[in-house]
Amino acid sequence: MIDREEVRHVARLARLQLSDAEVDRMAVELAGVLEHIATIEQLDLDDVAPTSHVVAVENALRADEPQPSLPRERALASAPQVADDGFAVPSPQA
C-alpha cells in the first residue's frame, strides 16, 4: 500500500528528515495503519455531506480594530537565533 519511495516523498512534503532505518520502519507501520483505515472504503458514502466542523458556527468575525500585539523583544525572546531585530535563519549566501 505504501512503499519506501512513497514514504520518502511524503517525508519531503512534511519537511521531515528520516534515516534509512526510519523509512523502513515507517513503511511497515504506516501500511498496518492504512490497512485498518481502508475499512471505511466498504461504506456507501456517495450522498453523504462531509463534516469538517461539528458545531454550526457561521463566520466568526470580530470588529476590524487594531489591538496591541506582542512587543518585539518578547516575540523574539525564545528565538533560536536573532539578527537585526528579526528571526535569523541559515542562508547559503550568509
C-alpha distances in Å from residue 39, one per residue of 32, 45, 47: 12, 13, 18
CA distance 60 to 64: 12
Q: Is residue 54 close enough to count as binding another protein by CB under 8 A? A: yes
**Site membership for another protein, residue 21 (CB under 8 A):** no
Q: Binding to another protein by residue 8, rule CB under 8 A? A: no
- Pick from 20, 64, 85, 92: which binds another protein (CB under 8 A)? 92
CA distances from 7 to 25, 32, 39 (A): 10, 14, 21
Among 21, 64, 68, 80, binds another protein (CB under 8 A): 80
- What sign has the CA pseudo-torsion 23, 28, 33, 34? positive
Footprint of another protein on this chain (CB under 8 A)?
2, 6-7, 10-11, 13-19, 22, 26, 29-30, 32-34, 36-41, 43, 45, 48-55, 57, 60, 62, 70, 74-75, 77-81, 87, 89-92
